[in-house]
Amino acid sequence: MKLPNITILDEKDRLLHKKSAEVTFPLSEEDKQHIEDMITYLTMSQIEEYEKKYNLRPGMGLAYVQTGILKRIFVIVEELDDGQFKNYILINPKIISHSEEEIYVGEGEGCLSVNREVEGIVPRFARITVEAQDIDGKPFKIRVREDISVAFQHEIDHLNGILFVDHIDPKNPFKNIEKYREI
């Protein structure tokens, strides 16, 4: 596998706090290639051999805005088993329903744009249903839960100009922790 030439913006970049624009179809060949590059990058970041070789931080999700493009597109690469991955490509995603139950990631959320340790919890819905479009513009609905639900919400936040650190109370990073279930 060849590492794609992708530059990921750092949290200090103001672009990360801007809202991304709706995508119109058909997608350009350039957009299709960029989506493939993002998937390849995320996949390689989760394979130890490439992670070490290219000094990558492992990541499972990437929003277009993190690569400097304000379009409502994100990809998630979920490792199912060693070397087996499931790819999600969501264009113009909208959360249309969610569980009442809220969860948080016990070891804390991470982000390829946040290059530091961050203490605190980010409450997320345990289950969400999302409406989106695929790369051909075909609408679909998907229901996700637990860690994938967290990842989807994290990436949708990016599309709205929100970083996970924006959810953490700096004065009380573990505020109301008893209200949420740890995953």
Is residue 48 annotated as part of the catalytic site, yes or no? no
Provide the whole-model pTM.
0.95
Q: Judge whether 9 lies within some domain.
A: no
For residue 63, which amino acid is it? A
Q: Is it true that the peptide bond before 26 is cis, omega within 30 degrees of 0?
A: yes
Q: Judge whether 19 lies within some domain.
A: yes
Structural domain of residue 153, as residue ranges? Answer: 14-182
From 36, 79, 146, 155, the catalytic residue: 155
Q: Judge whether 145 lies within some domain.
A: yes
Q: Judge whether 166 lies within some domain.
A: yes
Token pair 């329903």 is found at 97
CATH code for position 163: 3.90.45.10
pLDDT in single tens digits along all 183 residues of the chain: 899 999 999 999 999 999 999 999 999 999 999 999 999 999 999 999 999 999 999 999 999 999 999 999 999 999 998 779 999 999 999 999 999 999 999 999 999 999 999 999 999 999 999 999 999 999 999 999 999 999 999 999 999 999 999 999 999 999 999 999 999
Token pair 């493009």 is found at 69
Q: Judge whether 5 lies within some domain.
A: no
Q: Are 88 and 73 contacting, i.e. CB atoms less than 8 angstroms apart?
A: no
Number of domains within the chain: 1
Q: Judge whether 4 lies within some domain.
A: no
Q: Judge whether 8 lies within some domain.
A: no
Spatial strand order in the sheet of 127-133:
61-63, 73-81, 84-98, 127-133, 139-145
Residues in the chain: 183
Q: Are 128 and 152 contacting, i.e. CB atoms less than 8 angstroms apart?
A: yes
